[in-house]
Structure 1
Amino acid sequence: MVGKKISGSQSAKALGSAYLFIVLFGVVSLFSDMTHEGARSITGPFLSNFGLSAAAVGIIAGFGEFIGYGLRFVSGYLSDKTRRYWLVTGVGYAINLLSVPLLALAGRWEVVALLMILERAGRAIRNPARDSMLSHATSEIGHGKGFGIHEALDQIGATTGPLIISLALISGATMRHAFAWLLLPALAALSILVFTRIRYPNPQTLEVSKKESLKGAHFPRAYWFYLVAASLVATGFVDYPLLAFHFQKQDVMQGSLIAIYYAVAMGVDAIAALVFGLLYDKIGIRALMVSTLVSFAFPLFAFADGPIFALVGVILWGVGMGAQESIMRAAIATLSSKEKRATAYGFFNMVYGIAWFVGSSIFGILYTVSLPWAVGFSVIIQLSALPFFALSGRSRQKV
């Protein structure tokens, strides 16, 4: 009887410790996203002030995403090889966050582009190691739920960041002033990260001890089908800077509303992350099929005439982003072994980033030729991911 009480107490303590780790990292991400998503809400219009075309903005944003995902394979591999997950995570956060306020000092579009790429590179360095550490804690409460909670907190920052930027612009501040103010949440994120490192020096101990069906250096067939499906979704998606560029160039809305729309998208992202995270724990990869069917039509509305259609498009875009940034991470945790998890995250994100870069570049080029062609490309490519998600789900059941 006493043994059972002790066991129950230990289980409750482990659960509480896992929740606290996820929440602490969620708060780090909250301030982190407040910083870089606040900046990203106006980088499209900021670049357009230098006279760049839609294709140029799309290529810069897409290349930033390519770097932001492409470097993750190297980062993930090195994290697993060295087992220095905290060091890699810390370096990545520092580069990612400190690049943003430096935009206030940029006087040429080349410098702006470089800082945008550095910000994405910082994310590339930090994310595989961070997600690997998070996956240990989410194994205790459910991968979908755990990553959903983290993403929801993440998106609170991603929502408030653009709102702060919008309020600053409405009050008369310049874009440069807005970038400078983002130094404050950047420093807050780094401070909480240091505290979390001190509190949890070895997050691997948070993982539930259980027999693994996935071992060794090779990934199962379900992983590869999943990789194809996710890459198709990435190819068909569009960066918000290009949406913002369209809204400004076509005079769809006032400039201050562009950041508010982005905040709306991030709010939807947070809700979608929780909803689809819980759904993932119940029905698995089929949850991504549902999210794709909901979000694939976003370009049909976002690139239509008028702010109402644009708002609907932005909401659907937010649903898609919420699923991509929560469930897709949760799925990798179930499709890879504990020893190779950072590598699995890194390789997945490298291919995903290449797909995002190619898709953003193609969309930007098609946009300058024919808007209907660009929209059709986005819709068709996203829908083509559905059968591969289905194949991944079936293959996973056989493991």
Structure 2
Amino acid sequence: MKYISKTVWVLSLVSLFTDIASEMLYPVLPIYLKSIGYSVLFIGILEGITEVVAGYSKGFFGNLSDISGKRVPYVRLGYALSAISKPLLAIGQIPLVVLLARVFDRIGKGVRTGARDAILSKEATKTSKARVFGFHRSMDTLGAVLGPSIALVYLYFNPQNYLFLFYLALLPGLVSIGFTFFLKEKPGQKSEGNQIQVTSFFSFLSYWKKTNPNYRKLVFGLLVFAFWNSSDVFLILKAKESGLDDKFVIGIYIFYNLVYALFAYPLGILADRVGFKKMFLFGLGMFATVYFLMGSNQNPYLIVFSFFLYGVYASATEGISKAWISNLVPNLEVGTAIGMFTGLQSVATFFASSIAGWLWYLFGAPITFLVTGFFSVLVILYFLFTKITEGLES
């Protein structure tokens, strides 16, 4: 643990409590929306729209944090916005209110993501990036174990009584805000020269032309993958469609996040040793396997096994992709580089979730999952045959 600094610990605890709050609601929200009459298509579009809002916010505020040379104010504001959005979902029987609450939450994510990841990058060396990002993902995802566990216990005593959970989720959110006040801004420089300036909400997109070819090749592959990687909501709905009750569905989602939390740090350490590309390809292989299994069976045991593999996939890709990106750009551009990627990724996720909802609505779950599995194999082939360095070329 010698690579894990105090700052990394604090950021990880902030993410832990924020994720407890968010994940108390995430597995419940699609079930709740369906129970009050919303279609799978509406749920898919809702998730897509909120991801687009979060995405463009990540790009804009990531770039803004690079230019200002400050990180902590964006981290603090972003987590605060997400925390106070939770109670708004308690009046979510009105579609517009559900949308606004989710957008408010995602703007908070957008404000903090680039600045937070830039801090994590600065706290690591080039040979410890994956383990630092992996540790943060482990702590973040531990919140996704504890949050649904709280929801599961609550629903055991209050079946189908979802509304109080939306108020309860405010408490861990407030704890996360408190932890942000232990972060201190370290002396840094404002980004100059190659970096772009903020002229509009979308000005960060011009970074694509100014960055290096390896960054573009990596991000292109990641975005093609994101275009077919729909919201996890569809995995939850698939488990529900397979005949599992609400408590088991939430339980299996907890299991997935536990696997994710347990594997993210050790796989990050391994990625620092064997290389980002090999680990990322391994994760993509797990993803393809999950979607082919989900699309070809209704067996509850295989559904559980699929969620295990999905946890391994997330551990091998989420933190690793950000570590890889941060190694391909100068330190003063990390906020913009990660912000632009996550921004465009969110737009791709909007289309992925909308397409998945449309395919499910017209053809059912099997076609939805098999199509995604097929395109993920194409992405694997792209990364296999595309040369991308793992560090900034001098």
Q: Same fold (TM over 0.5)?
A: yes
Partner of 2:136: 150
Whether the 8 Å CA contact 2:217–2:388 is kept in 1: the answer is no
Partner of 1:346: 339
Relative to structure 1, the CA distance from residue 178 to residue 319 in structure 2 (aligned partners, 3 Å threshold; closer, same or farther) is: same
Matched, 1:44 2:58: no
Distance in 2 (alpha carbons) for counterparts of 1:393 and 1:269: 28
Relative to structure 1, the CA distance from residue 374 to residue 55 in structure 2 (aligned partners, 3 Å threshold; closer, same or farther) is: same
Partner of 2:207: none
Match of 2:246 among 255, 271, 277: 255
Matched, 1:106 2:92: yes
C-alpha distance after superposition, 1:28-86 (max 9, x if no partner)? 11101111122111111111123111111111112222222232111111111122311
Partner of 1:80: 66
Partner of 2:123: 137
- CA-CA distance at 1:89 after TM superposition: 1.4
Whether the 8 Å CA contact 1:41–1:162 is kept in 2: the answer is yes
Partner of 1:386: 380
Determine helix, strand or coil for the equivalent of 1:252.
coil
Q: % of aligned pairs identical?
A: 23
Whether the 8 Å CA contact 2:87–2:167 is kept in 1: the answer is yes
Matched, 1:177 2:164: yes
Deviates more, 1:163-172 or 1:315-324: 315-324
Matched, 1:296 2:283: no
Distance in 2 (alpha carbons) for counterparts of 1:203 and 1:301: 50
Whether the 8 Å CA contact 2:279–2:317 is kept in 1: the answer is no
Whether the 8 Å CA contact 2:283–2:314 is kept in 1: the answer is no
- CA-CA distance at 1:260 after TM superposition: 1.3
Whether the 8 Å CA contact 1:152–1:269 is kept in 2: the answer is yes
Partner of 1:3: none
- CA-CA distance at 1:397 after TM superposition: 6.8
C-alpha distance after superposition, 1:322-353 (max 9, x if no partner)? 33321111111101111111010111111111
Deviates more, 1:297-306 or 1:326-335: 297-306
Read off the aligned partner of 1:114 and give its amino acid letter.
L
- CA-CA distance at 1:306 after TM superposition: 3.4
Whether the 8 Å CA contact 2:124–2:132 is kept in 1: the answer is yes
Relative to structure 1, the CA distance from residue 364 to residue 106 in structure 2 (aligned partners, 3 Å threshold; closer, same or farther) is: closer
Distance in 2 (alpha carbons) for counterparts of 1:340 and 1:322: 25
Partner of 2:206: none
Partner of 2:13: 27
Distance in 1 (alpha carbons) for counterparts of 2:56 and 2:303: 31
Partner of 1:337: 330
Distance in 1 (alpha carbons) for counterparts of 2:267 and 2:288: 16
**1:219-368 correspondence to structure 2 within 5 Å:** 219-248=211-240, 250=241, 252-282=243-273, 283-303=275-295, 304-368=297-361
Read off the aligned partner of 2:129 and give its amino acid letter.
H
Distance in 2 (alpha carbons) for counterparts of 1:220 and 1:279: 26
Whether the 8 Å CA contact 1:221–1:395 is kept in 2: the answer is no
Partner of 1:57: 43
Whether the 8 Å CA contact 1:222–1:391 is kept in 2: the answer is no
Whether the 8 Å CA contact 2:59–2:339 is kept in 1: the answer is yes
**1:161-200 correspondence to structure 2 within 5 Å:** 161-172=147-158, 174-195=161-182, 197=183, 200=184
Determine helix, strand or coil for the equivalent of 2:329.
coil
C-alpha distance after superposition, 1:282-327 (max 9, x if no partner)? 1222210111112222123335313222212222222232333211
Read off the aligned partner of 1:389 and give its amino acid letter.
F
Distance in 2 (alpha carbons) for counterparts of 1:89 and 1:229: 28
Partner of 2:200: none
- CA-CA distance at 1:220 after TM superposition: 1.9
Whether the 8 Å CA contact 2:230–2:352 is kept in 1: the answer is yes
Number of corresponding residues: 372
Distance in 2 (alpha carbons) for counterparts of 1:343 and 1:393: 23
Distance in 1 (alpha carbons) for counterparts of 2:249 and 2:385: 38
- CA-CA distance at 1:204 after TM superposition: 5.2
Q: Pick the structure with more helix per residue.
A: 1
Whether the 8 Å CA contact 1:85–1:133 is kept in 2: the answer is yes
Q: Any unmatched runs of 5+ in structure 2? A: 196-209
Distance in 1 (alpha carbons) for counterparts of 2:387 and 2:312: 21
Distance in 2 (alpha carbons) for counterparts of 1:296 and 1:70: 28
Partner of 2:185: 201
Distance in 2 (alpha carbons) for counterparts of 1:23 and 1:140: 19
Read off the aligned partner of 1:343 and give its amino acid letter.
T
Deviates more, 1:335-344 or 1:131-140: 131-140
Read off the aligned partner of 1:230 and give its amino acid letter.
L
C-alpha distance after superposition, 1:185-212 (max 9, x if no partner)? 11111101112x2xx321759xxxxxxx
Note the aligned Cα RMSD (angstroms). 2.3
Distance in 2 (alpha carbons) for counterparts of 1:290 and 1:202: 36
Relative to structure 1, the CA distance from residue 397 to residue 336 in structure 2 (aligned partners, 3 Å threshold; closer, same or farther) is: closer
Relative to structure 1, the CA distance from residue 119 to residue 391 in structure 2 (aligned partners, 3 Å threshold; closer, same or farther) is: farther
Q: Any unmatched runs of 5+ in structure 1? A: 1-11, 206-214
